[in-house]
Amino acid sequence: MSGHGGWWGRRRNRQLALIVCFLLPSLIVFFLYRLLPLGWNVILSFQAWSPLKPAVWIGLEHYAEMWTYDDTFWIALKNTLIFIAASPLAIAAALGVALLVNSDLKGATVYRTIVFLSYPLMAVAVGIIWRWMYDERGGIINFALRSSGLIAKPIGFLQDFSWALPSVIVAEVWQMIGFYMIILLTGLQSIPQNLYEAARIDGAPAVARFFRITLPMLRPSLFLCVVVGILNSFSSFDLVYIMTNGGPGHATELLITHIYKSAFEQTKFDYAAALTVVQFALLLLLTVAANKGAGGNAGAVERD
Amino acid sequence: MATVSLRQVRKSYDAQEVVHGVDLEVADQEFVVLVGPSGCGKSTLLRMIAGLEDISGGEIAIGERVVNEIDPKDRDVAMVFQDYALYPHLTVFQNIAFSLQYRGVGKAEIARRVAEAAAILDIESLLERKPRQLSGGQRQRVAMGRAIVREPKVFLFDEPLSNLDAKLRVQMRTEIKKLRERVRTTAIYVTHDQVEAMTLADRIVLMHNGRVEQIGTPEDVYDEPATLFVAGFVGASAMNLVAGRIETGAQGCGVNLGGESRLALPPGRYDAHVGMSVTVGLRPEHLHWAGDSAASMLAGAARVVEPLGSDTLVIFDVAGHELQARLPPRVVRRGGDPVRVAIAPESIHIFDPATERRL
Ligand SMILES: Nc1ncnc2c1ncn2[C@@H]1O[C@H](COP(=O)(O)OP(=O)(O)OP(=O)(O)O)[C@@H](O)[C@H]1O
Ligand SMILES: [Mg+2]
């Protein structure tokens, strides 16, 4: 072969090989722990299988059962959707905080840190803290409500059927607000200041500046928050597990806790696999839709 | 149609004062250029006129009205920013129409005025594009369009051309000049490029360290720079500034640059300063080739010769000073050649080195 011929001689191929070398370790991990289980999971959902028996192909039977007989599935689905629906509220609240912290408010950096601090806390810790705060007898929330005379009898926030889900959502929102705020703050700070100056000279009042500059420029950051919120609603297993374990009854059951219980408490791994496929499909659908809404670039910043 | 008056305008950031009492009267329809080196306070001054910065002291009036406490939107000024500040998510049309929507202008009227501005600036075909789909020069035009649809009392420009490459800058400079013939509005234009200032301005305001050094027409500041700073700043090639002494002799009053080098001064003009040590300013383009017989001339040896085509820049040594002269081509060919130059007495600038002011 000539001096600069050959596969290795080409610059493009050399670069390609280098890129593959760097990517390979994470690709292997991704394949082993993500794609492979997912694939096996899909196959399993069409089979009747329990650890000691050979697998039998049963087609869509699990899905039919889910659709017609499993009331818990429908409750869990509804609760998961409510969980997702709560994230825009959290994002709106986070936007408010981000706007405040981004102004020349005194001590803004301190507030920013305090608000963000909730996010790196372990969900287990958050669950325990909130469970303690919600407690019927010794909880600080009941104490505050009773001593201010708002209620006469303590509320069992996590024991009451109608209070349980909102209470868990509040804890979840509390933890996520810090994260949303940081994302939105970064978005806010990447909006060039002179756009606001130009708009002030152009005569746009503060409200118009918010709706015509801040919001549109923040769209990618907002949608990134939405996507994270959706992902998070599907995976906030730890918080719910610690706070209520899906109870009382199935009042706080999410798809993820339902999957867990089906698999590890009732050892119906095959059925849990079918549930997982449904959850995965739903997740994929919502995420793609959210990313579409962001113009296909959630998290990116629009520049001129 | 409006005048702009600045009276003892000051600006401090915390304890640091960066603009120290600027006085300026801009006439109706006048095009005034603020020029000076980076950090001298030009943008700060402009932003105070726009209302984007508080005024720490003094008074700014647009027309008859003092605007110190008036909101930017009510000052009826339009500003073109250095990086254009176009709204990235809006089309060119929406960018240009933006301000009109907040001034109670009807839809049809907006469409008409945007079309008119677009025609003036030759950007009619770009109206549906987003800013990121435009070249630098096109964005520049859109930014201008956004200012002219407003039909404001005053235009403010903050280095609008400095983000363009050299060629486009020259082209846009000419365009602004043409635009100015069509849209006669009071304008204040900030730049640190003295060529831009000279070519565009009705009057130039030279700023240095937060102070005004000189206000005058481009000819004024070129012909009679009031301070050493202005002398060094204005002019295509930098003025030669050398130490000398004023003396009087048989041939009348002159300035001695050391050794045998002596230049005649206009008769009578500097009689009061005989014996004084001064700084002498000689523009390279005013030094001309001298015949052998000339009495008042500088003789030295060329160090560097830079042919520029139309003329040649010669750097030469005289009495321990390094001077530059713009001479006709081929008079001096290479380093080491003898150089003999003279200058008309009235083209010599004399400054007091202590006060740095013109004598
Ligand atoms: N927000 C601020 N806080 C403190 N100092 C500032 C602020 N803005 C400007 N300055 C100072 O004020 C001085 C004048 O700044 P200004 O921006 O007006 O300069 P300029 O003449 O426009 O320079 P350039 O040609 O680089 O744009 C500078 O010394 C700058 O450091
Ligand atoms: Mg500036």
Tell me the three-class secondary structure of chain A, residue by residue. Answer: CCCCCCCCCCHHHHHHHHHHHHHHHHHHHHHHHHHHHHHHHHHHHCEECCCCCCCEECCCHHHHHHHHCCHHHHHHHHHHHHHHHHHHHHHHHHHHHHHHHHCCCCCHHHHHHHHHHCCCCCHHHHHHHHHHHHCCCCCHHHHHHHHCCCCCCCCCCCCCHHHHHHHHHHHHHHHHHHHHHHHHHHHHHCCCHHHHHHHHHHCCCHHHHHHHHHHHHHHHHHHHHHHHHHHHHHHCHHHHHHHCCCCCCCCCCCHHHHHHHHHHHCCCHHHHHHHHHHHHHHHHHHHHHHHHHCCCCCCCCCCC
What whole-number percentage of chain B has pLDDT above 90? 54
**Is residue A290 over pLDDT 70?**
yes
Q: What is the pLDDT of residues B79-107, one digit of tens each?
A: 999 889 999 989 999 999 999 988 888 89
User: Where is pLDDT greater, at B149 or A234?
Assistant: B149
**Is residue B201 over pLDDT 90?**
yes
**Is residue A57 over pLDDT 50?**
yes
> What is the average pLDDT value for chain B, to the nearest integer?
90
A200–B85 CB contact, under 8 Å: no
What whole-number percentage of chain B has pLDDT above 70? 99
Q: What is the pLDDT of residues B6-43, one digit of tens each?
A: 999 999 998 899 999 899 999 999 999 999 999 999 99
Check if A104 contacts B (Cβ < 8 Å): no
**Is residue B191 over pLDDT 80?**
yes
Token reading at A291: 């990313």
Q: Does ligand 1 lie within 6 Å of residue B11's CB atom?
A: no
Looking at the partner chain, which of A192, A208, A302 has a beta carbon nearest the beta carbon of B89?
A302
What whole-number percentage of chain A has pLDDT above 90? 7
**Is residue A3 over pLDDT 60?**
no
pLDDT classification of A295: cutoffs 50, 70, 90: low
Over residues B185-190, mean pLDDT: 94
For residue B205, the ligand closest to its alpha carbon is: 1
Those residues of chain B whose CB sits closer than 8 Å to some CB in chain A are: 50-52, 71-73, 75, 77-79, 81, 83-89, 98-99, 102-103, 130-132, 139, 146, 150
* Residue B88 with chain A: CB contacts under 8 Å: 217, 302-304
CATH 2.40.50.140 fits A62-303, yes or no: no
User: Residue B343, SS3?
Assistant: coil
Q: Does ligand 1 lie within 6 Å of residue B37's CB atom?
A: no
Token reading at A247: 């109870």
Cα distances from A41 to residues A269, A274, B77, in angstroms, run 9, 8, 66
Q: A59-68, A233-242, B206-215: which range is least confident on average?
A: A59-68
Q: What is the pLDDT of residues B257-314, one digit of tens each?
A: 887 788 888 888 888 888 899 999 999 999 998 876 667 788 888 999 999 888 999 9
**Is residue A64 over pLDDT 80?**
no
Edge-to-edge strands, sheet with B277-282: B261-264, B252-258, B240-249, B277-282, B349-351
Peptide bond into A248 cis (omega under 30): yes
What whole-number percentage of chain A has pLDDT above 70? 94
Q: Which residue of B has its CA nearest to A202?
A: B99
User: Where is pLDDT greater, at B57 or A137?
Assistant: B57
The reply to whether ipTM tops 0.90 is: no
Probe site for chain A from B43, B44, B52, B130 (most A CB atoms < 10 A): B52
**Is residue A145 over pLDDT 60?**
yes
Q: What is the pLDDT of residues A167-180, one digit of tens each?
A: 888 888 888 888 88
CA of A139 relative to ligand 1 center, distance in Å: 55
Name the residue of B14, B43, B48 to mutate for ligand 1: max ligand atoms within 8 A of Cβ.
Answer: B43
Edge-to-edge strands, sheet with B57-62: B16-26, B4-13, B57-62, B65-66
Check if A193 contacts B (Cβ < 8 Å): no
Q: Does ligand 1 lie within 6 Å of residue B276's CB atom?
A: no
pLDDT classification of A1: cutoffs 50, 70, 90: very low
Backbone angles phi, psi at B211, to 5 degrees: -125, 155
Q: What is the pLDDT of residues A71-125, one digit of tens each?
A: 788 888 888 888 888 888 889 999 998 888 887 767 777 777 777 777 777 778 8
* Residue B91 with chain A: CB contacts under 8 Å: none
Protein residue closest via CA to atom 24 of ligand 1: B38
Name the residue of B18, B19, B33, B207 to mutate for ligand 1: max ligand atoms within 8 A of Cβ.
Answer: B18
Check if A204 contacts B (Cβ < 8 Å): yes
- pLDDT given at position A281: 87
Query: Measured between CA atoms, how close is B16 to chain A, in angstroms?
Result: 20
* Residue A214 with chain B: CB contacts under 8 Å: none
CA of B159 relative to ligand 2 center, distance in Å: 7
Name the residue of B9, B10, B13 to mutate for ligand 1: max ligand atoms within 8 A of Cβ.
Answer: B13
B98–A195 CB contact, under 8 Å: no
**Is residue A13 over pLDDT 90?**
no
pLDDT classification of A5: cutoffs 50, 70, 90: low
Q: Does ligand 1 lie within 6 Å of residue B44's CB atom?
A: yes
User: Where is pLDDT greater, at B245 or A248?
Assistant: B245
What does the DSSP 8-state code read for residue B153? Answer: S
> What is the average pLDDT value for chain A, to the nearest integer?
81
Q: Which residue of A has its CA nearest to B76?
A: A201
Query: Taking Cα atoms as reference points, which of B336, B342, B350 lies closest to residue B262?
Result: B342
What number does the ligand 1 atom closest to the CA of B42 have?
Answer: 21
A202–B81 CB contact, under 8 Å: no
Give the contacts of A246 (CB within 8 A, at least 6 positions apart): A240, A252, A253, A254, A257, A258, A261
- pLDDT given at position B93: 93
* Residue B135 with chain A: CB contacts under 8 Å: none
Give residue limits of the domains in chain A: 11-45, 62-303
Q: Does ligand 1 lie within 6 Å of residue B41's CB atom?
A: yes
Give the contacts of B148 (CB within 8 A, at least 6 positions apart): B78, B117, B120, B121, B155, B179, B183
User: Where is pLDDT greater, at A46 or B83?
Assistant: B83
Looking at the partner chain, which of A194, A217, A303 has a beta carbon nearest the beta carbon of B85?
A194
Dihedral of alpha carbons B297, B302, B303, B307, sign: positive
Instruction: Estimate the crossing angle of helix A161-189 against helix A123-134, to 10 degrees.
Output: 130
Looking at the partner chain, which of B50, B81, B103 has a beta carbon nearest the beta carbon of A203?
B103
* Residue A195 with chain B: CB contacts under 8 Å: 85, 87
Query: Taking Cα atoms as reference points, which of A223, A225, A230, A226 lies closest to residue A302?
Result: A223
Cα separation, B291 vs A106, whole angstroms: 74
The pTM for the full model equals: 0.79
Looking at the partner chain, which of A194, A197, A202 has a beta carbon nearest the beta carbon of B102?
A202
Other residues' Cβ atoms within 10 Å of the Cβ of residue B89:
20
pLDDT classification of B158: cutoffs 50, 70, 90: very high
Protein residue closest via CA to atom 19 of ligand 1: B39
* Residue A203 with chain B: CB contacts under 8 Å: 73, 99, 102-103
- pLDDT given at position A304: 46
- pLDDT given at position B223: 92
- pLDDT given at position B262: 85
pLDDT classification of A296: cutoffs 50, 70, 90: low
